[in-house]
Amino acid sequence: MLSMGISQLGLAQQRAVETNRSDEIKPVVTKAPLYAGLQECLPLNYLEQEKFVAFEEPVAERPAPLGFAFEINGEKVAASNRAKLQSVFAESQLVKVPHGKSIQSIRDEKDRPVWIYPTGTEVVHLISFRSKEKTIFELRMIRKLENGTWAYGSYSPSLECQQGLKLNTYSGVPPYETTFLNEENQATSVKLKRINLQTCRGCHFSDSPADYQYKTKEEAGPCGFVPTNPHLNSSWAMDYFNKTTQIIFEPQN
């Protein structure tokens, strides 16, 4: 059991006879916001409580936007100036597969690896400020829903959720502004415009290195937590097992 890493699984994989996934998944076409299906409030320690496990993203040609129209300490900063933004923001990515479930790894008709994520899978992009007291800017989450599509939401700290995290429901690109003490105890001010909550899925559909996994935009899910991410092909599945005693990839037989 312990030796069931993803690489062994790769060897054991059989070609799925037919993977006509667009027939399988019939997305409901509605005007519902992309965050429909997500909880309104999450406790501040949600990721620890639910035993999320961190993973590394592949190097993205176009990394996920943190926002745009940045000003740091009164100075305009281009969204492409990643180094400067990283002096203010810290990012990490984490995943949780519901207990007792695993990801099914199959091959499509062109022999490319495809992951079938179980309902309830949650993948997180955590964006925090490099502040003295760690403060979350946004916890972005995607969650696999019963109907085969993914909900996309972004949470921020809010008093309305007992100091926990509240699902953002704004429209457009509202301005955001904060001041905090950085790790060196210096006051730092950050101004930006938040990203549009309706753009998440479209970008994940077109920008994922494994975009072939998603036959339609409605099915689009993880951008970097995909079978072509080299960081997930090594000891990562074992790391997940060690932290959760859960086998994350399902062998094909």
Please tell me whether residue 115 binds ligand HEC under the rule CB under 6 A. Answer: no
Which residues are bridge partners to 165 per DSSP? 42, 157
Task: Answer yes or no: are the C-beta atoms of 130 and 190 closer than 8 Å.
Answer: no
Binding segment toward ligand HEC, per CB under 6 A, in 54-62, 75-83, 231-239, 244-252 = 54-62
Task: Please say which residue, 58 or 251, places its beta carbon nearer to ligand HEC.
Answer: 58
Using CB under 6 A as the binding rule, the residues of this chain from 137 to 156 that contact ligand HEC are 140-142, 152-154
3-state secondary structure 170-234: CCCCCEEEEEEEECCCCEEEEEEECCCCCCHHHHHHHHCCCHHHCCCHHHCCCCCCCCCCHHHCC
Closest approach, Cβ 156 to ligand HEC, in A, equals 11
Please tell me whether residue 63 binds ligand HEC under the rule CB under 6 A. Answer: yes
Structure-derived torsion over alpha carbons of residues 83, 85, 89, 91, reported in degrees to the nearest 10: -60
Q: How many amino acids of this chain bind ligand HEC (CB under 6 A)? A: 27
Closest approach, Cβ 198 to ligand HEC, in A, equals 8
What end-to-end distance do the CA atoms of the chain give, in Å? 15
Task: Please say which residue, 37 or 251, places its beta carbon nearer to ligand HEC.
Answer: 37
Query: Looking at 167, 190, 223, 232, which residue binds ligand HEC (CB under 6 A)?
Result: 223
Please tell me whether residue 200 binds ligand HEC under the rule CB under 6 A. Answer: yes
Please tell me whether residue 167 binds ligand HEC under the rule CB under 6 A. Answer: no
Cα–Cα distance between 94 and 150 in angstroms, integer?
Answer: 16
Query: Looking at 9, 38, 116, 123, which residue binds ligand HEC (CB under 6 A)?
Result: 123
Measured on CA atoms in the order 12, 14, 20, 23, is the torsion positive or negative? negative
Task: Answer yes or no: are the C-beta atoms of 32 and 122 closer than 8 Å.
Answer: no
Query: Looking at 197, 210, 220, 248, which residue binds ligand HEC (CB under 6 A)?
Result: 197
Please tell me whether residue 224 binds ligand HEC under the rule CB under 6 A. Answer: yes
Per-residue binder mask for ligand HEC (CB under 6 A), 93-112, x = binder: x-------------------
Please tell me whether residue 165 binds ligand HEC under the rule CB under 6 A. Answer: no
Cα–Cα distance between 171 and 34 in angstroms, integer?
Answer: 11
Token representation of residue 30: 């509605």
Task: Answer yes or no: are the C-beta atoms of 198 and 79 closer than 8 Å.
Answer: no
Q: Where does this chain bind ligand HEC (CB under 6 A)? A: 57, 60, 62-65, 93, 123-125, 140-142, 152-154, 195, 197, 199-200, 203-204, 207, 222-225
